[in-house]
């Protein structure tokens, strides 16, 4: 978010791209930069000066792989000799916003340091840095492996990781031990399963059978049949369910 205007980086970049100046000044040597086509990506190049390049927001991501971009202008820019190391050079100002840029490792090529504007998201590359980025470019898997290697090299990280793994294993063992005592034993569970399987399922009486048993009850009440006869006839009706 641009703290001055409240605009997002993408909105700011679109605004700058739509009002792109042809007379952009190189922040390193103060020579005029010209816009060149590197194959569907237009980049500002300090052609008459230090051979540096300016990439608007999201443009560098379209050229950071070795297979991206094409054309003689791109080949010419990649062939430019790298800038000699100048540790005395201070922070450079963004050629778009005019605010100081910050230096950091490029995510996809951690061996290369680049200047980035926190406001518009543009990148300023010295001569030779684009070539290095394309040579050192890391894909997703390689980048994760690189980060993992960096972290593993930190003093004490390996010991701390082993300690965490042991703690996880101990917690899992305690949890399993507790579950063993809190849940029914295996024999009890098997006994319950067998009981459910052997349990006889009583089917509901049909309407006709219910009426016949009700008639037998009435006959028993008024003395037309004895209790023994009632039991025998009721049993006959119930056996019809099997």
Q: How far apart are CA 82 and CA 224, in angstroms?
A: 119
Q: How far apart are CA 92 and CA 102, in angstroms?
A: 8
Q: Which residue has the higher pLDDT, 105 or 158?
A: 105
Segment (H or E) for 45? strand 42-45
Band of pLDDT at residue 143, cut at 50, 70 and 90: low
* Residue 53: DSSP 8-state: E
DSSP three-state, residue 184: coil
pLDDT of 12 reads 47
pLDDT of 17 reads 45
The domains of the chain are located at: 9-151, 158-198, 207-239
> Which pLDDT tens digit goes with each residue over 177-213?
666 555 555 556 666 666 666 655 556 677 888 888 8
The whole-model pTM stands at: 0.49
* Residue 236: DSSP 8-state: H
């Amino acid at each position: 978010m641009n703290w001055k205007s409240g605009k997002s980086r993408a909105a700011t970049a679109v605004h700058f791209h739509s009002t792109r100046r042809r007379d952009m000044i190189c922040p390193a040597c103060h020579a005029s930069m010209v816009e060149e086509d590197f194959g569907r990506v237009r980049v500002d190049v300090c052609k008459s000066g230090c051979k540096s390049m300016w990439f608007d927001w999201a443009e560098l991501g379209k050229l950071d792989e070795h297979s991206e971009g094409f054309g003689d202008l791109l080949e010419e820019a990649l062939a430019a000799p790298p800038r000699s190391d100048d540790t005395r050079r201070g922070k450079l100002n963004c050629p778009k916003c005019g605010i100081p840029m910050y230096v950091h490792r490029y995510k996809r090529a951690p061996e290369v340091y680049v200047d980035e504007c926190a406001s518009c998201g543009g990148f300023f590359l010295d001569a030779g840095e684009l070539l290095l980025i394309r040579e050192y470019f890391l894909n997703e898997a390689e980048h994760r492996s690189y980060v993992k290697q960096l972290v593993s090299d930190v003093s004490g990280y390996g010991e701390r990781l082993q300690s965490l793994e042991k703690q996880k294993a101990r917690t899992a063992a305690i949890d399993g031990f507790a579950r063993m005592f809190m849940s029914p034993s295996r024999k009890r569970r098997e006994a319950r399963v067998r009981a459910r399987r052997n349990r006889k399922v009583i089917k509901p009486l049909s309407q006709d059978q219910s009426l016949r048993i009700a008639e037998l009850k009435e006959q028993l009440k008024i003395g037309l049949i004895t209790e023994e006869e009632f039991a025998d006839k009721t049993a006959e009706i119930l056996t019809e369910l099997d």
